[in-house]
Structure 1
Amino acid sequence: MNYDVIVIGSGPGGYVAAIRASQLGLKTAVVERESLGGICLNWGCIPTKALLKSAQVFEYINHAADYGIKTAEAEADFAAVIKRSRGVADGMSKGVQFLMKKNKIDVIMGTGKAKPGNKVEVKAADGSQKEYTATSIILATGGRSRELPNLKQDGKKVIGYRQAMVLPEQPKSMVVVGSGAIGVEFAYFYATLGTKVTIVEFMDNVVPVEDEDISKQLLRSFKKAGIDIMTSSSVESVDTSGAGCKVQVKTASGMQTLECDIVLSAAGVVANIENIGLEETGIKTEKGKVVVDEFYNTSVKGYYAIGDIVAGQALAHVASAEGIICVEKIAGHKPEPLDYNNIPGCTYCSPEIASVGYTEKAAKAAGYEVKIGKFPFSASGKASAAGVKDGFVKVIYDAKYGELLGAHMIGANVTEMIAEIVVARKLETTGHEMLKSVHPHPTMSEAIMEATADAYGEVIHL
């Protein structure tokens, strides 16, 4: 069958690209080997947020007395929590199926592989193969859990994020290797439900991509929650021969042995670029990623790549934006290239983390003279009323022109607040304009205005 566009992979990059292509009048098909929605929807963003919500509800119940509410002792039903998470993911996947039908997109189940001559070979689960042709082929095959050489995953005692979502029973103890978004989200989830959690991080700070002030606050909050954290440390080996795991950790002061039931390897993701036809078609790669231009053309005409398999942040919303830009260019439109310095990053542990743009360190390294403002949630009326006073908002402005260089937040619901900063930066909003935009009271979001006021020496509530 001939198509205008075939997308290999139906994650948040692939299915969004397919829908936009269909909207633009292009005959479109999606090839998917497992479940529509990809990892994000089935094994990533969505089901993890369901798990985290269950943990948050459990935490609220355990602290009900702080709000003047008497309750019986709460008990977490681990199996039911996992079941709810899977139900949420299944419902969302069915939603993508509906969107495929609504937009008249053909769904081809099987493993797709790009072939020379604008062809895609699809191998079905029964081993049968079929070939399709398309004017444009978009590779959107996503990523998977990175496996460290000295931390081989067996799926039982040493696991990746996928197994962490469906463990048959709650472990009594867990070592989480890596403190990026995946690591700290699972650390919060399991610790809140009662698992003894230790995080081992190779870098000097937890959540190392974040502003250092954010890292320090999360460290304080996690330690207060009973999570042990070892920074500047590395897991050298894991012995799984006994009932549990013996984890050898190299620290600045020497080797330590940690004992636990489960080791979760959360050392990031690696691109799925194997066996998708790159060698046969001659598509260039570099450092484990497909090389593309600003409109996602690969080195071979008619072949494109988006999402986790190209350079840039490995985030669902980035993949979706790339997919839309890619197909709009294919359809002859004139989309703007994506500004990768205005991509929000969100981490959904408790307290939440949200950030966009330059960190303080990066802004200074780029040569900016900066104005820094911070507003702690301990001074926020809404945060006090809600009983969530941990955290702060930090804003970074260029001292010369008032450009909003970046913002970094840690606290309750900050992942819902960061979009204000993204839009403000897109519109080239200045510090003065942000300061004079009246924010509603009492809200968590007025902390953005207050932090800006702090940067300009006009703060009222500090």
Structure 2
Amino acid sequence: MDKKDVVVIGGGTAGFLSAQAAAQHGGNVIIVEKEKVGGICPNWGCIPMCFMDHSVDVLNSLKQAKRNGIDTGELKIDYARLMEEKDRVVKGVVDGMEARLQATSVQVVIGTAKLVSPNEVEITHHDGKVEKVRADKIIVASGSTSRRYDVPGAYGTGVITTRELLSLKKLPESLVIIGRSVTALELATVWSSLGSEVNLVTRKPELLPGEDEEIARYIKQVLIENGVHIYTGDIESIDDGNEGKSITISGNGKKQVVEAQLAVFALGQQPNVEGLGLEKVGVALDNGRIRTNEKMETSIEGIFSAGDATGEMMLASIAMVQGMAAGTNAMGGKAIVDYRVVPRSIRTVPPISAVGMTENEAREKGLNIKVGKFPFEQNPRARIIGEPRGFVKIITEAGSGKILGVHMIGPQAPELIHEAAAVMRMNGTVRDIASTVHGHPSLHETIQRAAQIMLM
């Protein structure tokens, strides 16, 4: 029986960084991945979605160029070429990850794995070969899978998830996107901008649960202005229709039927915890996710977990820090994951970013707060680049000025949010942002102006 210092189950973002960290601390590491190194993020998630979002930005920039007197000719979208370039970008990212694993002498196996004991893993290779490997430490980074409603037709032909949508070589004429999640809104904004007719079906009228309500209302209005049709109700069934798929919705005492070429489930992710032997060795689960401590160790000493399998926020950025901590600690380190300041972004058009509490969360905690806002339409740089939509919102503790949360929708929000995150990480106050000299004209001034307004 082969012997390793660390066996990593799952080669996604968390598994990759777990293996890297363990190897860099001197470990003899094997990583078992069932499909492709990199998992969801680079192959079917954040990297291709960011590419699609960027492509829409390029399209909008070309439209702005015409307004600026620059004749770019007739704008056409060659969707097949667009997807070819997306695949090239994805391949470059994944090739880089594989090269780094090779450089650190991490053994990569394509196959599946399950725990046999706290120190033993059974690996089934893609060719059917089965072997058992002993390990001093095991890291479960098994990722997640897309959720679907349990309704008739949910797994029928033409009913897909983000993964399949990002793999299409032809632009769909029409889509029904099911969900009100981050992914649902990203898909709706991007594909409507590319020319698909988009319908959004949600069980509740409020979009983006957990995010700031003002931001959610704003992006909902943007979707409507972009021609996205929004329906609210419970899905009864998904059937074949004249255009492709026919979705029956019930709500407010009436039924509606929405038809489109494809139906896309975008309800978010659920942890992959089945078939891993977790129950056999006693690893504790909490509502379908692997329970870990701040060092990413599970209820069984020597078994760690990281990434979506833990159910913690399910962000690639969180998977990264969790993976590094798990790999480091598997080799005797003392790394701790700190979740206090975690910026998050939504690749809509315009994009959304946030860090910390929402206004409602702060009020529900009974905190005495102040709220400051500043619109991008009053920022000269936003005017110059032709992207004046959106605003920055800051929530602070009324007396101390301590920043509790920052939320924004507007140009380059995923880049701008890190200024707020850094100040919060350093326990800074709104005065620290307001009094820091910002370049002019710059989008960052929108954050500064929101802070300055709070001090008036």
The bucket for the TM-score relative to the shorter chain is: over 0.9
**1:51 — aligned with what?**
52
More divergent stretch after superposition (57-66 vs 357-366): 57-66
Residue equivalent to 1:421: 420
Q: What letter matches 1:91 in structure 2? A: G
Contact 2:234 2:249 (C-alpha < 8 Å) held by counterparts: yes
Give the 3-state SS of the residue equivalent to 1:450 in structure 2: helix
Q: Which runs of 5+ in 1 are unaligned?
A: 458-462
Partner of residue 287, structure 1: 287
Give the root-mean-square deviation of aligned CA atoms: 1.6
Query: How many Å apart are 1:241 and its aligned residue?
Result: 5.4
In structure 1, the residue matched to 2:167 is 166
Aligned to 2:405: 406
Query: What letter matches 2:341 in structure 1?
Result: N
Provide the rounded CA distance (Å) in 1 between the counterparts of 2:39 and 2:175: 27
Answer yes or no: is the 8 Å Cα contact 1:291–1:298 preserved in 2.
Answer: yes
Contact 2:302 2:330 in 1 (8 A): no
| SS, match of residue 329 in structure 2 | helix
Specify the code of the residue in structure 2 equivalent to 1:356: V
Distance 1:396 1:418 in 2: 14
What residue is the counterpart of 1:14 in the other structure?
15
Q: Does 1:185 align with 2:147?
A: no
- Which amino acid letter does the alignment assign opposite residue 196 of structure 1? E
Q: What is the rounded CA distance, in whole Å, between the counterparts of 1:391 and 1:160 in structure 2? A: 29
SS in 1 for 2:406: strand
Query: For the structure 1 residues 191 and 151, does the alpha-carbon distance in structure 2 shift closer, same or farther, using more than 3 Å as the test?
Result: farther
Structure 2 equivalent of residue 199 of structure 1: 200
CA distance in 2, matches of 1:61, 1:372: 36
Identity of counterpart residues, as a percentage? Answer: 31
Give the match for residue 460 of structure 1: none
Instruction: For structure 2, list consecutive stretches of 5 or more residues without a partner in the other structure.
Output: none
Contact 2:29–2:106 (CA<8 Å) still a contact in 1?
Answer: yes
Give 1:359's aligned amino acid: T
Q: Deviations over 1:118-160 (max 9, x none)?
A: 1111111111111111111000010111021016544741111
Distance 1:56 1:303 in 2: 43
Partner of residue 332, structure 1: 332
1:396 aligns with 2:395: yes
Question: Is 1:239 paired with 2:208?
Answer: no
C-alpha distance in structure 2 between counterparts of 1:68 and 1:150, whole Å: 52
Deviations 1:231-254 (A, max 9, x none): x43322211255511111223362
Secondary structure of 1:185's counterpart equals helix
Q: Which residue of 2 aligns with 1:114?
A: 115
Map of 1:441 onto structure 2: 440
Q: Is the 8 A contact 2:181 2:267 kept in 1?
A: yes
> Match for residue 224 of structure 1?
225
- State the partner residue of 1:265: 265
Q: How does 1:143-162 map to 2 (within 5 A)?
A: 143-150=144-151, 152-154=153-155, 156-162=157-163
Q: Does structure 1 retain, via aligned residues, the 8 Å contact 2:270–2:311? A: no
Structure 2 counterparts to residues 265-414 of structure 1, below 5 A: 265-339=265-339, 341-414=340-413
Q: Distance in 2 between matches of 1:312 and 1:68?
A: 48
Greater mean alpha carbon deviation, residues 315-324 or residues 62-71: 62-71
Instruction: Give the count of matched residue pairs.
Output: 455
Aligned partners of 1:298 and 1:304 also within 8 Å? yes
TM-score of the superposed pair, with normalisation by structure 1: 0.95
Distance 1:451 1:233 in 2: 37
Q: Distance in 1 between matches of 2:410 and 2:382?
A: 9
- Counterpart of 1:105 in structure 2 is 106
Which amino acid is 2:111 matched to? G
1:383/1:253 Cα in 2 relative to 1: closer, same or farther (>3 Å)? farther
Deviations 1:44-75 (A, max 9, x none): 11112112222322333344322222232211
Q: Check 1:164–1:156 CA distance in 2 against 1; reply closer, same or farther (3 A cut).
A: farther
Give the distance between the partners of 1:325 and 1:166, measured in 2 at CA: 33
SS in 1 for 2:395: strand
Aligned to 1:453: 452
How far apart are the structure 1 equivalents of 2:153 and 2:309?
22
Supply the distance in 2 between the matched residues of 1:444 and 1:376 (Cα, whole angstroms).
11
Give the match's secondary structure for 1:300.
coil
Aligned residue number for residue 67 of structure 1: 68
Matched, 1:137 2:135: no
Report the alpha carbon displacement of residue 301 of structure 1 after superposing the two structures with TM. 1.7
Q: Which amino acid aligns with 1:144?
A: T
Letter of the 2:447 counterpart:
I
Distance 1:445 1:382 in 2: 9
Query: Structure 2 counterpart of 1:189, which letter?
Result: V
Contact 2:395 2:403 in 1 (8 A): yes
Counterpart position of 1:31: 32
> Is this contact kept in 2: 1:322–1:338, CA < 8 A?
no
